[in-house]
Structures are given as structure tokens and as C-alpha cells.
Amino acid sequence: SVPTLYTRIYDGVHTLMETSSPLKRNTMKKALSLGWEALNAGGSKNLSMGLRLAHTVLDSSITSNIRSRFDGRLRCGFR
């Protein structure tokens, strides 16, 4: 079922984060945090310039890899 699939993916992403180096782990956590902040703000256009830049860079380098595994259809799912 779909919830089981997302639970397995969620667990896999978080396991990857916890077994990564501290730098990579903190970068991934920051990328996910900025993604949620952008979502809650109604889009990255509503963030400050510094946060928008950080979100753009981290989104293109970190979270786009996760999203690409779902053919770009994953809007939010990790925290």
C-alpha cells in the first residue's frame, strides 16, 4: 500500500542521513528544513533573499535527487 511505501522511503532517507558524515547530515537536514519553510511561506518567493538563495542551492543539489526518484511528483514528505 502507499503509506507503507512512503514509510519505507522515509525510513531509508533518514537512515541515510544518520549514517552519513556530519557535514552531509547537517546539509541534508538544512535542505529539508528550508524546504518546509518555503512550503509554509507559500513558496520560496516569499522567503528572504538569503534563505531563497540557500533554498535554491540546496534544493538543486540535495532534495532534487530525492524528488527525481518519484519522477518529480513528490511535493513534500520528509521532515
- Give residue-wise pLDDT tens across range 7-65: 887 888 888 888 989 998 998 888 888 888 888 888 888 889 999 899 889 888 887 77
As a whole number of angstroms, the distance between CA 66 and CA 47 comes to: 22
pLDDT score at 4: 86
**CA nearest 66: which of 9, 5, 4?**
9
**pTM for the whole thing?**
0.69
Radius of gyration of the chain (CA): 13
- Half-sphere CA count of 60, side-chain side, radius 13 A: 5
Q: Which three cell numbers stand for residue 58?
A: 540546496
**CA nearest 66: which of 23, 6, 22?**
6
